[in-house]
Amino acid sequence: MKVLLVEDDLSIATQLADALRAENFVVDVARNGEDGQHLGETGTYDVAVLDLGLPKVEGTAVLKAWRDAGRSVPVLILTARDGWSEKVEGFKAGADDYLTKPFRMEELIMRMRALVRRSAGHAQTRVSCGPVAFDAQLGTFELDGLPLKLTGLEWRVLSSLIMRKEIVVARADLLERVYDGDSEVDSNSLEVIIARLRRKIGHDLIETVRGLGYRLTAGAS
């Protein structure tokens, strides 16, 4: 899962990015509204965390620009402003959720996961595909009812596939959600991860759609 974090406070941005990466999120960070607006309009993200009090371009203006540009990424506003009028302003601009500082990191991550899950069209927290089940709120996988151990890269790929189960996910889309922007990526690295996942969950569950990408399916019919 890929996150856009727009936060001008270096300490908060660093703590948030570190915590999110520890939970296997891929994180892009912008330190001002201008950069955040550009990334949000040109990149592909599963969720955005947006501060309101930003330099260059204020947070609600950034969010309105995203929505005017047709960007439907779910947005959680993160701000020190706790007045009702500020919340109304944020929701009118297109926010999906609102969290005031100070906050608990666990709550932020749970809210983000809920936004990603609902955006992908899953009403229930548990998403299943054949023998594989994903708790979208806790971020844990099971195979045939037993805990499934995955590396960070495997988790990123499998979570992206199961949230779009039975849908072909483009190779480029998966790569964006697996590696940070400054990572050096070997040409066959994704194929290596897919091969490892197939050994863990079964070869029939991940289908290669040549020229397009990969699809997680409930199994061969």
CATH number at residue 208: 1.10.10.10
CATH number of 61's domain: 3.40.50.2300
Distances, alpha carbon 221 to alpha carbons 130, 197, 204, 217, in Å: 11, 20, 10, 10
Across the range 203-220, mean pLDDT stands at 90
DSSP, collapsed to helix, strand or coil, labels residue 142 as: strand
Q: Are residues 91 and 154 in the same domain?
A: no
List, in order, residues 6 or more apart from 189 with CB less than 8 Å away. none
- Domain hosting 144: range is 126-216
- Residue 221: what pLDDT? 44
The predicted-structure confidence for 73-111, as pLDDT tens digits, reads as follows 999 998 877 677 778 888 999 999 999 888 899 999 999
Instruction: Please report, rounded to a whole number, the percentage of residues in the chain having pLDDT higher than 90.
Output: 76
* Domain contains 221: no
**Dist. CA 40–CA 73, nearest whole Å:** 8
**Model pTM score:** 0.86
3-state secondary structure 23-83: CCCEEEEECCHHHHHHHHHHCCCCEEEEECCCCCCCHHHHHHHHHHCCCCCCEEEEECCCC
